[in-house]
Structures are given as structure tokens and as C-alpha cells.
A and B are shown apart, each in its own frame.
Chain A
Amino acid sequence: MEGCAQEGQVKLLGVEYSPFLLRVRIALSLKGIHYEFIEEDIQNKSELLLQTNPVHKKIPVLIQNGKPVCESMIIVQYIEEAWGNKAPNLMPKDPYDRAIARFWAAFIDDKVVPCLREVVTGQGEQQQKAVQELVANFLILEESVRTNPCFSGKLYFGGDEIGFVDIALGGLSAFVKALGKATNSVLIDEEKMPLLSAWMDRFCEADGVKEGMPDPAKVLEFISAMRVKFTSPPTAK
């Protein structure tokens, strides 16, 4: 029965400092759900990972009562539905608002995330182009906060409380900030993106989020390690 999921039976397989893992941790934290975190070694994938996510072999994986759920935003939706009786509600009630929330979460996954990857793995001119594209996508988000009636004038994309889109984008915050430092670029410019900038500060300081925010120095280390892996020749992926 929905909303009566047993706690203590929730495991989360992930890699520390992964923004996708952070999205799920934030959702679990906001709902007050206890779980066991299992650190995965991506260079040496465990039996558990291969068993629970044979298709993609990626983290995060949420395992509840032995049943795995994969893909970070699908996991967040699952958390919302399986613990539907626990506040806060991460999805709006109205079908149209839900479609809008899903649209922007998909935008973040389909447009922002690939850009992040390109910036991490790119070099020289290629990296510069990726940074420009990333900034352009953030500007689109800035515009949506300014003009979309679902978001305009509200504290969060979810309204008064953190919601689905906030988690989709906010989970990436620490990573985005560190990436800016690593590449010596301003990704979310306070002047050009005042609303998005203010939102990010608000999100990172929110109860349920701030406690789980990773150490910026560690995230920077994480990104640097990724860059070494992807940019040193010869690369075996």
C-alpha cells in the first residue's frame, strides 16, 4: 500500500559527490526517509550494481525491499509516490502543473546535463563551446523563472516548497559551482541570472538540503579526478 513503505529496507547505491546521487539524497532527506548508503567503486563495479542495474550499470540505484529503481529523476518520482503521505509533496497536484514540472526536469536532463559532461571532458575550444552552451541553457532557465506563471514570483520551482524541478537542478548545484572553479568560468552569473542565482542560494541553504551539501573542496577534487580520467591519452572508457 502506498505511503506505508518500510523504512530500514531502503538502500542507496551511489558514488559520493555524484550530482545524480545528491538529487536522490535530497529527496530522501526532505521526506525524512532513513536509508543505508552503499558506496560504489565505479572503476570496479560491484555484483550488486551489475545485478540491480544491468542495463546501464550506473548509479544511483535505490533498492527498496530488494527491488531496484534506477535513473535519478525516476527514483525521485518513485520516492514521491511510494511515500506519498509524507510531506512535502514534491510534485504539484494539477495535471498541467505536473506536465510543466516534468518538462523542465527533462530539459535539465536532456540539455543541461550533457553540457556539464562536455565541459568536464572537453579541452580548449571544445570546452569553451560547451561552457557557452551551458550558460545559454541556464539563461533559458532564468527566463522561465522570470516569465512562466508556474514559477514566476515564487520561492522555488515547486512554489512555496522545494519540488521536483528544484531537486533536478538543485542536485547539480555543488557540481556546477565546483565546475565553474575548475574551468575558471562563471556559469551562473549573478548579474545576468539574478533570479536563478538567488534561487540557488535559497535552495542550498534550505532545511533538508543544507545538511547534505557536499564539501566544495571534495567536489572539486571529484571533478579533477574525472577530468584526468577523460582527458589523459589513451582513454579507455
Chain B
Amino acid sequence: MGEGEEQVKVLSQWPSPFAIRVLIGLEEKNVRYESLEENFASKTELLVQMNPIHRKVPVLIHNGKPICESLIILQYIDEVWPGSNSFMPSNPYDRALAKFWADFIDTKFLGTGIHGILKKTGEAQEEGKRYMLEYLGLLEGVLKEFSAGGSKPYFGGEQFGFLDIAFICHTCWFEAMETLGKWKIPWESEFPRLLEWMKKCRERESVHKIFPDPHKILEYAIKFREGYLRSN
């Protein structure tokens, strides 16, 4: 693990949950990195060069070599800088479960749940809220199981791991989503474990450092929603 020669850059965008995910991962491993903010209006030469297929952030550039797709980057970080805190569970079955739920979060939870609220209006938005509650219910159950009934703090058990990092990055958008959906998620009554888990995660140095200001996210989310509804 050569320290002096190592060069780690991240092409990032501050509100992107996927970028936030990668930055939290690097912070957790105490890797020194440089974060390069991509602007929204146009894509930089560097981004197009490093991620020609998708042209999206985040991109991790490790000694000049690009790694794309946030969950893939997280696994890469875990393998290159194993340290004393493994992100991935120790056995293959638990790893498969962690990957399954991370994939669920990025597809159904984000696509039908979060975006179902941010990008929709009227009845379609109400449907998004119903899905969101259903999915939160599933995740509450998963957390109960993976935390051994709450005796351990995280999805990773004792360890703040892959699934914790994969999920926590989306939670910084929850307040904005509630505001834009004009509703309140019944955390205390319906999802108390998730509520407790979010509080615990936010206390971590990595999450505290990387999470954007919720007011800034709301401002951005409002523009994002307006822009999306205008062009669709």
C-alpha cells in the first residue's frame, strides 16, 4: 500500500448520492484523495476521457486509472485498501445478500420510490409514496435481521459496511423528498430501526464530513424537480 506515490482523485458532484457514497468509502478507509467537482452545465474533458461510456460521476481515478459505477468503486476501495475495516461481509452468502439489497436500493427504491416522488405529480406521486413506504418496510425488516434484532448497530452488523454505505448516501435526500412530496414519513411508528440507524450513521466522522447541508439539497432538489417536470 504505497502511500507517498499514491494519487487518488474523485470526479464528483456534491448533491449526487452516488458520489457521496464513494467519498464516504474513502473517508472510512482514511485514504487521502482530491475531489474534483464536475459542473452541471457541461461535462469536462477529464470526465469524458475517464468515463466515455456513461459520462457520469462518480469516477475514482487511482494513479491515473479510472474506475466507474459507485458500487463497483466501493468494492474496489475495499479490496485495494483492506485496512482493519472490511466493507464486505466475510462469507460469500452474506456478500450476495449485501449486493442484492444494494442493487434493490439503486433500482426499485431509488427509481420507483425516491424518483417516484421527486419526478412525479398528482396520483403518480401518491403511488411513489406508497412504494416508498413499502420499500422502507422491507429495509426495516432487512436491518432487523442483519443487525441481529437490533443488538448490532448496522446492516453490516458490528461493521459500518457495504450496504450501510450503499444506503446512507440516499438518506441525505429524504428531507427534501418529504418537503417536495408534502408529506412526512412515519419514522418513529413504522421504521424505528431505520431511524436509529440513520442517527448512528450521521454520527460517524465520514458521513458528518461528506453529507451536504440539507437546505442546499432542498434548493437543488427544487430546481431538479422543476427542470425535470418542464422537460417531460
Contact = CB atoms under 8 A, between A and B. Distances in A.
B96 A69 contact: yes
Given A74-B99, A95-B76, A95-B79, A103 B92 contact: no
B53 interface: yes
A55 B104 contact: yes
B72 A107 contact: no
B80 A103 contact: no
Interface in B50-102: 53, 62, 65, 67-69, 72-73, 75-76, 79-80, 91-93, 95-96, 99-100
B75 A99 contact: yes
Interface of B is mostly: helix
B138 interface: yes
Contacts of B99: 71, 74, 77
A47 interface: no
Q: How large is the interface on A (under 10, 10 to 19, 20 to 34, 35 or more residues)?
A: 20 to 34
Contacts of A78: 92-93, 95-96
B100 A103 contact: no
A189 to B, nearest CB: 21
A107 B79 CA distance: 21
A13 to B, nearest CB: 15
A74 B95 CA distance: 9
A82 B76 contact: no
B72 A81 contact: no
Contacts of A75: 96
B91 A102 contact: no
B103 interface: yes
A2 interface: yes
B65 A96 contact: yes
A25 B100 CA distance: 19
Given A71-B100, A103-B69, A81 B76 contact: no
A178 interface: no
A61 to B, nearest CB: 11
Given A55-B138, A81-B92, A99 B103 contact: no
Contacts of B103: 71, 74
Given A74-B103, A95-B80, A99-B67, A106 B96 contact: no
Nearest to A82: B92
A99 B138 CA distance: 29
Contacts of A55: 104, 108, 138
Contact of B91 (A2, A96, A99): A2
B96 A98 contact: no
A96 B67 contact: yes
Contact of B93 (A69, A95, A98, A103): A69
Nearest to A111: B53
Nearest to B102: A74
Interface of A: 2, 55, 64, 67, 69-71, 74-75, 77-78, 81-82, 84, 95-96, 98-99, 102-103, 106-107, 140
Interface of B: 53, 62, 65, 67-69, 72-73, 75-76, 79-80, 91-93, 95-96, 99-100, 103-104, 108, 138
5 contacts: A64-B93, A67-B93, A95-B79, A99-B67, A103-B69
Given A69-B93, A140-B53, 7 more contacts: A69-B100, A70-B100, A74-B96, A77-B99, A81-B95, A84-B92, A95-B79
